[in-house]
Amino acid sequence: MKGRVAVVTGATRGIGFEIAGELAARGATVMACSRHLASAEKAAGKIGKNAHAGAVDISSTASVRDFVKKAVKDFGAIDILVNNAGYPFDRKAWYKQFHETTDEEANAVIEVDLKGTFRMTRAVIPIMVKKKGGVIISISSTPAIAGHTEGAPYTLAKAGIIAMTKHVALEYGRDNVRAYTLALGNIATDATFHSMTEKERMAAAQENAMKRWGAPREVARVAASVAGDDFSFATGNTIVVDGGAVFL
């Protein structure tokens, strides 16, 4: 990863923080991003070597444009983009049935998870095309593949991310721009694991073949591997990281 510049959105905690740390540990110059600069600075400080703070609101086209422009000015390029930032877990909206979901609830998730990923991806593609290479990794979820009985807006948004990845991979493969989606199962982050009751956590652990929750660090290792040259002749893939619950 030495000599490569990576941008990780939603990098102040959980999966994003671990991905930023793993990329930095492997030698990449990493911009750990958050909507709030102070939070990003705190995360970059914890990561240490090779980590820098970045402030970007992916729900704002202007913020994304200004951030990418500054990143290229400061570091010369963006070689790796990890679209990890997402809408916060909303327990009330999550447990509503599909027909009970309001426009406002659906739009809130789609605006960040899907359209935010679109904004960031759209902004970095010209930079990668000009350099003749780059990697875009977007975080999705297994309900986007297999469906679910809860969290309809989340499922819709994450399914769109998988479609976007395939489109980008096909359209920009000639420019050596690779795109991937990581479809995650139950990963023990603060946003999910600690928002559940003990009974709910135990039930979720039984959903996969390994009978446990995944760790954010395990996702980070997959992301870092995909971002490297070991995947140089693979693109457009949806890589399932769920302990063996959903199979493609």
CA distance 119 to 63: 10
CA distance 85 to 76: 23
Q: Are 136 and 177 in contact (CB under 8 A)?
A: yes
The type of residue at 161 is I
CA distances 206 to 173, 212, 245, Å, are 39, 7, 9
CA distance 58 to 56: 6
The type of residue at 62 is A
Q: Are 153 and 108 in contact (CB under 8 A)?
A: yes
Active site residues: 154
The DSSP 8-state label assigned to residue 89 in this structure reads: P
